[in-house]
């Protein structure tokens, strides 16, 4: 209410971007990227036509331009695509994208230092008309893998692995279970590198009675292709796998959503993989 009053007087209001009130009304911080979320929330509350975020990057690119010089800045991207890319390391807070999508508030991301066009994040029927098969290649370097070897293949055993992790606040991402062999199976999953040691120690403790061994690896990354156009077309996974094979990138794990295909690979092969995928899906070409 005060903000509306001050704006009504023609004043410029400066609001702390990373602070807010908890449920008990204590002042708290909003975490990394909280300023993005605050900006969108204010735009919603003030019924603004759009939210403009000026930052140290001049927009959203098809992939990391530091790795792929041919990366192209996108003029626009959908909420869904941006949410996938943000969750995989792009410079936007996923919570801000979720909030913008719920209230349909377009977000313009542009440079605070250069007067150049940015990227508009929005949705609706207009975005559906121009959607691309593959919009970008997202890279997540914050990946570690844990494998529980020779697990007894019986009902309830997977829950015994993952319930303690959930109770400890460890977020698990990709999960793969191998086909059972002689009543035993391997269960592999990924966590963030920050959670790796805690998750590894807890899993070893949990699985002592029903698994042969627990091993881990932190030298991994996730490479993803993202695009709403993949929902209704075939062949994208095949193109992705073939492109990675051409540059000798081994795929350790695979996961998918409606608009994303993700491969877990050796972190030392990020540049080769990003170059190959960017080229395979012609993302350096205008309209690609």
Percent of the chain with pLDDT over 90: 63
Q: Which of 106, 123, 112, 1 is nearest to 57 (CA)?
A: 112
Give the number of other Cβ atoms within 10 Å of residue 198's Cβ: 14
Q: Write out the CATH class of domain 2-131.
A: alpha beta
Q: Write out the CATH class of domain 132-288.
A: alpha beta
| Residue ranges of domains in the chain | 2-131, 132-288
pLDDT tens profile 82-136: 998 887 766 788 889 999 999 999 999 999 999 899 999 998 655 555 567 899 9
The pTM of the full predicted model, rounded to 2 decimals, is 0.84
Locus of tokens 């395979």: 280
Contact between 146 and 188 under an 8 Å Cβ cutoff? The reply is: yes
Reported as type and span, the H/E element at residue 175 is strand 175-177
Query: What is the distance between the alpha carbons of residues 103 and 233, in angstroms, rounded to a whole number?
Result: 29
Q: Where on the phi/psi map is residue 168: left (φ > 0), alpha (ψ -120 to 50), or beta?
A: alpha
Q: Is 139 exposed, middle or buried (0-12, 13-18, 19+ CB in 10 A)?
A: buried
């Amino acid at each position: 209410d005060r903000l509306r009053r001050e704006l009504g007087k023609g004043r410029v209001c400066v609001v702390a971007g990373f602070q807010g009130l908890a449920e008990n009304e204590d002042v708290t911080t909003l975490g990394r990227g909280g300023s993005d979320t605050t900006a969108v929330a204010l735009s919603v509350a003030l019924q603004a036509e759009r939210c403009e975020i000026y930052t140290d990057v001049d927009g959203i690119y098809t992939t990391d331009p530091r790795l792929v010089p041919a990366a192209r800045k996108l003029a626009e991207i959908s909420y869904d695509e941006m949410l996938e890319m943000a969750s995989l390391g792009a410079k936007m807070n996923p919570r801000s994208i979720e909030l913008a999508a719920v209230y349909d508030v377009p977000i313009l991301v542009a440079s605070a230092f250069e007067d150049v066009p940015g990227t508009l994040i929005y949705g609706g029927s207009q975005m559906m008309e121009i959607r691309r098969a593959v919009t970008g290649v997202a890279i997540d370097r914050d990946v570690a893998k844990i494998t529980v070897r020779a697990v007894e293949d019986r009902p309830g055993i997977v829950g015994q692995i993952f319930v303690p992790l959930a109770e400890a606040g460890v977020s698990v991402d990709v999960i793969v279970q191998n086909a059972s062999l002689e009543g035993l199976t391997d269960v592999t999953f990924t966590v963030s590198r920050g959670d790796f040691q805690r998750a590894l120690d807890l899993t070893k403790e949990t699985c002592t009675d029903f698994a042969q061994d627990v091993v881990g690896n932190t030298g991994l990354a996730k490479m993803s292709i993202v695009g709403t156009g993949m929902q209704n077309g075939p062949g994208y996974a095949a193109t992705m796998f073939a492109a990675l094979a051409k540059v000798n990138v081994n795929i350790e794990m695979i996961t998918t959503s409606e608009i994303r295909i993700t491969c877990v690979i050796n972190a030392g092969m990020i540049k080769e993989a990003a170059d190959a995928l960017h080229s395979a899906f012609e993302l350096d070409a205008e309209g690609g």
